[in-house]
Amino acid sequence: GESVGLHLPTLSVQEGDNSIINCAYSNSASDYFIWYKQESGKGPQFIIDIRSNMDKRQGQRVTVLLNKTVKHLSLQIAATQPGDSAVYFCAERETNFGNEKLTFGTGTRLTIIP
Amino acid sequence: GAGVSQSPSNKVTEKGKDVELRCDPISGHTALYWYRQSLGQGLEFLIYFQGNSAPDKSGLPSDRFSAERTGGSVSTLTIQRTQQEDSAVYLCASSPRTRSEQFFGPGTRLTVL
């Protein structure tokens, strides 16, 4: 079946450096992708999203890149801060109207080293 | 404004007992979702409500799981005859309309002994 997966389960980055979290997806019917951040004991928090008609979208200190050719999604966090330490999930949603569920990857734990 | 709230925050129960988990979505949000997150895992879709439409129950793992949404607002997820493998964090999310960002609650951590 289709799946959303992550290349690395853990990532450690020095404070102030940039980080890149990668995600591979295999469902060609997906047209909407989201990155969520989940801190310990909390629910996932929306970071940024991108639709399949785009290949890049920028937010505050975050950029999402979408490569539909190789079905790859990445989240770039610039100038990382201790508060960026969390588990990051990518999620995808199919094109079909009426199919609203998100399919989540297993997550990457990002640790910012002071 | 107030976000999605869930209660209880923690629930410990004995195998075989029934449990009810509650979700209060953001006011005005028409869509409501339930997900399950096992330790160290991603989120697993359970069920989705949208307005007065029939819910999408395709993610419910067994007939011991059911959910309802009363008056288009509060939702209750019920697990009957709980098993140890039901232990997980149950997350609720709501969104203002179809195909838009989902806002998550803090979750209910369920432990079945």
Classify the phi-psi angles of B22: left when phi > 0, otherwise alpha if psi is within -120 to 50, otherwise beta.
beta
pLDDT tens digits for chain B (113 residues)?
589 999 999 999 999 999 999 999 999 898 999 999 987 778 899 999 988 888 989 999 999 999 999 887 999 999 999 999 999 999 999 988 766 788 999 999 999 99
**B105–chain A nearest CA distance, Å:** 5
SS3 (DSSP) at B22: strand
Residue A95 Cα distances to A12, A53, B86, angstroms: 34, 12, 31
Distance CA B45, CA B66 (A): 13
Please report residues of B whose CB lies closer than 8 A to that of A4: 42
**Sign for the pseudo-dihedral over CA of B28, B31, B37, B42:** negative
Q: Check if A42 contacts B (Cβ < 8 Å).
A: yes
Give the closest of B40, B98, B103 to A100, CB-based.
B98
Answer whether A21's CB lies under 8 Å from A6's CB. yes
3-state helix, strand, coil in chain A (%, to 5): 5, 55, 40
- Summarize the confidence of residues A18-26 as an average pLDDT: 92
Please report residues of B whose CB lies closer than 8 A to that of A25: none
Which DSSP string corresponds to B77-110? EEE-S--GGG-EEEEEEEESSTTS--EE---EEE
- Summarize the confidence of residues A84-107 as an average pLDDT: 82
Token pair belonging to B45: 């879709």
DSSP state for residue B62 in the 8-state scheme: S
Q: Check if A52 contacts B (Cβ < 8 Å).
A: no
Residue A109 Cα distances to A21, A26, A76, angstroms: 9, 22, 14
Please report residues of B whose CB lies closer than 8 A to that of A42: 106-107
Distance CA A32, CA B100 (A): 10
Q: Check if A1 contacts B (Cβ < 8 Å).
A: no
Answer whether A67's CB lies under 8 Å from A90's CB. no
Confidence category of residue A29, pLDDT binned at 50, 70, 90 = confident
Answer whether A23's CB lies under 8 Å from A73's CB. yes
